[in-house]
Chain A
Amino acid sequence: MNLDYLASVDGVLLDGLRLTVVATLLGAAIALVLGLLIACVQLARVPVLFQAITVLVIVIRNTPLLGQLFFMFYVLPRYGIRLDALTVGVLALGVHFSCYAAQALRGGFLAVPRGQWEACSVLGLSRTTTLWKVVLPQALPPVVPTLTNLLISMFKDSAVLSAITVLELLGTTRNLASTSFQYTTLFTAMGLMYLAIALPASLAVRRLEHRLSRRTARA
């Protein structure tokens, strides 16, 4: 480890880390909203939309994220959709992970007993009130660990954005290395930075899972 060298570039690396975090958070917001919509379409079996989404989910889950990223980056402009690399990257992350989030959310919805919907129906509550006040608050907490694990995966997988010129943490590190040749120092520092964020998050998920299982045991 060349600490003097590291001290001279730590600001650049931290900028890369910041971009990684931003891309992850934006991607996660898209994945959550889109995942919720996909889960609703699948549960309600909305005609046409349901079939379209089924195809999308199959494609997303059975092709590499990097391939999806390239597809969006190189193909969309040919149809007049010009977006900067970061936007494409965030969209690709969001769409990719929304398919996995949808699966988790669907499980959460299905775990809410039918009697809850029926009680709402007999009380005359609207569908919106039923969903937001009764069903979602029961469907979400059990899947928070799964969703957080997806968030951690997305955080790590956001490194693929470097392949379309986004200078997030991995791209920045590689850039620096290509001129300074300080491979050991740079990639060790990069690894520690990913760890510094992903590890505490993983530990938090484990504690959360533990608490949830205790709560269900009590109920």
Chain B
Amino acid sequence: MTELVNDRGSGISLAGVTKRYGDHVVLDGIDLEVPAGERVSLIGPSGSGKTTVLRCIARLEAIQSGSITVEGTEVARRTEKRTGPPAADVAAAMRGVGMVFQQFNLFPNMSVMDNLTIAPTRVLGLGAEEARARAEGLLELVGLAAKARAYPSQLSGGQQQRVAIARALAMRPSVLLFDEVTSALDPELVGEVLEVIRGLAAASDVTMLIVTHEMQFARDVSDRVIYMEGGSVVEQGPPDAVLADPADERTQRFLRRLLDH
């Protein structure tokens, strides 16, 4: 019943979301729809608010106006309506949201295995055996089956980020947020991480919102590309249209500058 009420599997929606730090407007009443199963890449210059969009969806930041809906449940709001959904419903909806960070944020005091099992056992109530089996399967998927007992500090950056992806997947999310997950990596390690995400996109129907500067990757993996600037959506459409033949002058300028480098 809950599933019907919450209409799970309906993706992410931002309606008129404003985020300010003091007087500094970072998101300027942004509207964004990511239907279930869609892969959307978010591109734009540094400081345009891409990370903030993800952080607001993940409830790491409070918003100043508008509302955010995840899988049919309004998880963040600043509107005139009096009551929002109960906290338990919000928590349940947020359990479907996974995030992978630029800096990995693995727990350095735990083995890879413990990094992958702590949330499933403590949040989802999985038994130790089941959580372990799930983790082993995911490590296989990201090509790190041999590293279950290693500690994060013993892994390369690329390996750590693959573990972080596996950790997010261990919660069986229906929505995954990727925030420049290869930006902190040495160039030769970027490929292995993108490969894992490509594989994931091909093998599952998880909704993905991907912030990236890797244009070829965005083109391969996305159904849609959104170009942001100054806290607003400037242009969006199929990757071939936005990346190869952008309509807006600002998008053209951004892509041209990216090519020059």
The answer on a CB contact under 8 Å between B118 and A133 is: yes
Encode B84-100 as 1/0 by CB contact (under 8 A) with A: 00000001001101110
- A123 and B167 contacting across the interface, CB-CB below 8 Å: yes
Interface of A is mostly: helix
A56–B32 Cα gap in the complex (Å)?
A: 51
B122 in contact with A122 (CB, 8 Å): no
Q: Would you call B105 and A125 a contact (CB within 8 A)?
A: no
Q: Could you say which of A122, A133, A137, A219 contacts B153, with CB atoms under 8 Å apart? A: A219
Question: Is B153 within 8 A of A125, CB to CB?
Answer: no
Nearest Cβ distance between residue B91 and chain A, in whole angstroms? Answer: 7
The residue of chain A having its C-beta at the shortest distance from the C-beta of B177 within the complex is A122
By size class, the interface of chain A is 10 to 19
Chain A contacts with B in 108-159, Cβ cutoff 8 A: 113, 115-116, 118-119, 121-126, 129, 133-134, 137-138
How far in angstroms is the closest Cβ of chain A from B1?
Answer: 22
Asked if B58 CB lies within 8 Å of chain A CBs, one says yes
B59 proximity list for chain A (CB < 8 A): 121
Question: Interface 1/0s, chain A 160-194, versus B by CB < 8 A?
Answer: 00000000000000000000000000000000000
| A123-B123 contact, Cβ under 8 Å, with A115-B101, A115-B103, A218-B153 | yes
- How distant is the Cα of A219 from the Cα of B58 in the complex, in angstroms? 29
A118 to B105, CA, bound (A): 8
Task: Report the contact-size class of chain B (Cβ under 8 Å from the partner).
Answer: 20 to 34
With A122-B98, A125-B119, A218-B153 in contact, do A138 and B108 touch (Cβ < 8 Å)?
yes
User: Is B83 located at the chain interface by the 8 A CB criterion?
Assistant: no
**Is there contact, CB below 8 Å, between A125 and B99?**
no
Please indicate which of the listed interface residues A116, A121, A124, A219 has the most CB atoms of chain B within 10 Å of its own CB. A124
- Chain A residue at minimal CB-CB distance from B114: A133
Complex CA–CA separation, A129 to B125 (angstroms): 13
B254 on the A face (CB < 8 A): no
The answer to whether B107 and A119 have CB atoms under 8 Å apart is yes
Q: Which of B162-204 contact A (CB under 8 A)?
A: 167-168, 171
> Within the complex, which residue of B91, B101, B103, B109 is in contact with A134, where a contact is CB–CB below 8 Å?
B109
Q: How far is the CA of A137 from the CA of B115 in the complex (A)?
A: 14
CB distance from A157 to the nearest CB of B (A): 33
**Are A123 and B101 CB-contacts (below 8 A) given A116-B107, A138-B108?**
no
Would you call A219 and B108 a contact (CB within 8 A)?
yes
Closest B residue by C-beta to A129: B122
Given contacts A138-B108, A218-B153, A219-B153, contact A121 B119 (CB under 8 A): no
Which residues of A come within 8 Å of B, CB atoms? 113, 115-116, 118-119, 121-126, 129, 133-134, 137-138, 218-219
- What are 25 A-B pairs with beta-carbon distances under 8 A? A113-B103, A113-B105, A116-B105, A116-B107, A118-B58, A118-B60, A119-B105, A119-B106, A119-B107, A121-B60, A122-B98, A122-B99, A122-B168, A123-B119, A124-B95, A125-B118, A125-B119, A126-B122, A129-B118, A133-B107, A133-B118, A134-B107, A134-B109, A218-B153, A219-B108
